[in-house]
Structure 1
Amino acid sequence: MAAHSTLEHRTIRKVSRRIIPFLIILYFLSFLNRVNVAFAGLTMNHDLGFTNAVFGTGAGVFFIGTFLFGTPSNIALHRIGARRWIALMMLAWGSLSAANALATNPTSFYLLRFFIGVAEAGFFPGVILYLSFWYPTRHRAFVTAIFMAAAPLSNMIGSPISGALLQYTNGVAHLHGWQWLFIVEALPTVVLGCIALVYLTDKPEDAQWLEQDERRWLTQELEKEHSEKAARSASNVWVAFKDIRVWLLALVYSGTSMGLYAIGFWAPMLLKQFGFSFVELGVINAIPNLVAVVGMVYWGRRSDRQRERRLHVAIACLAGALGMVVAGQAASALVLVIALSVANFGINAAKPPFWSMPTLFLSSSAAAAGIGLINSVGSSIGGTVGQMVIGKLRDLSGNYSSGLYFVSATLVISAVIAVLFGRPATSKVDMRSPSK
């Protein structure tokens, strides 16, 4: 048993060193290209005459693309292979993200955002599925937390970069600062898309960088889990669409997505009300994201150690809801930063234990379809509805409070559904290590 444990530790550590840092960089760029419109909007809205409603609609249209193509893209990844499909997606969305610099009116802005959503639709759910190809269930929440830390990390590092680009490149080569922002921040995505094609490995049995005993142990361990899940439920694509648990998880995810993108798209504008320069704004906006990075990794590890998912999701959602309410009432920059930090922690911390839930009752093609469906439905509701509502309420009321309260209410609903989700997604039997 000791030898088995040593082999497991050695294998998981080697897998993590090989694929997790690279996936973090890819998700970092994915999220940066998705939300850098928040900083661009600080001057782009004025230059192109966009209202808050137009900006919110443009931010949200992205998620219509992810909704329509998320599940088909994830099924394609399962059939074609992660290496080729991820590389293709990155080349597509990187090129389209740079093309944001060509937007001249609401229609062109909407179309570009929609097609970026189409191109990027399968990336996040694809990586969640990809991690299930490499990690037994008992390790998955923690590695998911490490991977997903790239989202707040992207805001933490990307915010100062975006602020500096906005401030110091304006007028260079007769382009606006927001145009340079889109172009510069898209280039690494295209470059790494080419690298992904040769660096990633589809499945453990193809991993020549693992020793033979490591490949054998990991392959057998994952096949054993797959067989156990397959014995409890069917594994074809249509099972995911008929399973009520998939739709309940999509509703939970819609609340966390609404919170995530409310902060991602609107936090710079919330903070700008206090008169910060673009560079100062970038640095200050990084603080809540630093809190989120540390908090979500801790929360994911805690979820793995306690082998519990539902309450970890629910408690985190309630923390996010509280932060949103306080942010809506904040009368000073300090209170706003603290509130956004609490909200950012809760929203991001909910995600690692959440994404450990679908693969506990879905396997094979059903897992690919189910994860894609949860992501596309949850992201489209949270991303599209949330941003449109916030933008419209901002134009009507002159402040962001009503929109933030609306987001808070959706997070409370997510918490309630997570608590009531039921035993199948949280069974300790399902999550127990076979080696124990």
Structure 2
Amino acid sequence: MVLAREAKYGFFRIQENSLTVQAEGLAERIRFVDGSPTLELGNLAAEAGKPVSYALLDSRGQVVESYGLRGVEVSPATLRRYDIDDPFGFSIERWLDPNSGDSVMLILPDTSGAQRIVVTYPARDRLLVQVSMPLLGNAISKADVLYTLTEASVVAVLLPLILTLVAIPIIVRLTLKPIRRVSREAAEMEAATLDRRLSLDRVPSEMDGLVRTFNELFARLDTAWRLQREFTANAAHELRTPIAALRAEVEAVVPAQTRSVLAIQFDKVARLLTQLLALAEADSRPIDAGGRFDLMALARGVVADMAPAAIASGREISLDRDSEKPTDVRGDLGLAEIALRNLIDNAVRHSRPGSAIRVIVDEARISVANTGSSIPEALQATMFERFWKQDRRSSGSGLGLSIIDAIMKRFGGSVDVTSSDGTVTFALDFRDGASA
């Protein structure tokens, strides 16, 4: 609205200036014939009234002669004013560049009622020349303004806006790229990789302090975790020798009838130490992310190694392949072996004497099934917690299943349990971390 109003006023000023320039030219054409003033229009006389009209006024503002439409008489009071009868009211352009008073401008209706602009300009001998023409129509002004504004908007507004809309997402993505990289690095960190640090490469200065603070936090966590891990591993390792020596001395002095009871307790302590070492390794050992191994080969080796002990305990153990599909998976062979050994050992210890233990390999999954006490569904969600035991009187440490769960989570896989008709089946699922 402001632009349209200013444009309309601009057209009006152009028209006024054009008429003023013509009036200045007419002032040079005043001649005196027999003492009476007259305008020598020349070829302009034939064009008078089409649409520009001309007139000559005396010093009192009375019309002396007219060409085209009759001239407009101007009172002495009007002559002392300037820039009057402006049909557009206040305008910024009018305020910045007011009429200087060289001409008198009027807006008057002609005989048909249409508005016309009349410019009266002072000439020599106190005479006045007058030029008038119809006021430019608003429709012409608006059309011109809209066309000019539309053309200018495409270049000055729309084109930069489109470029901005395209550029802003690209700039934001490039700016946030280092932050997304740091977020991925932080998400990949775990207990075994606390020695890593977040990269400061091309991180925005606003995020630099935060990333450095996180690196300092990781350094403190790494130190505390390493001390705890080393303490657990060293304590379990150092206790093995004195316990073995103590067991030998006790067996030498204790009567044979009580020796078996003490042997069970020593075996329980030795097993606990072995499990603590395995737990420390499962929590802290770096994973070979690029490693690959064959599940069938792994199961074949572990079963062959543990079969003598299982058979000696009165159980049978077998290995089956449930699918002809490849059983090649991605992961750490050493940790996978620890998980499978604990799972088979758990099956041997909790199965009935004389029962069979089945190890089944199926693509990216190893299942171990044994006949034993059923496990209620309510307990299946909590049995992988550390030191959990269904029977508190058993000789187990309650760490075996938690070790398996910790290893499988680090693989990105899972361990599942099902129990029905007295058969309990644990399955190591490598599918999430596998690439067969």
TM-score bucket of the superposed structures, by smaller chain: under 0.3
TM-score, length-normalised on structure 1? 0.20
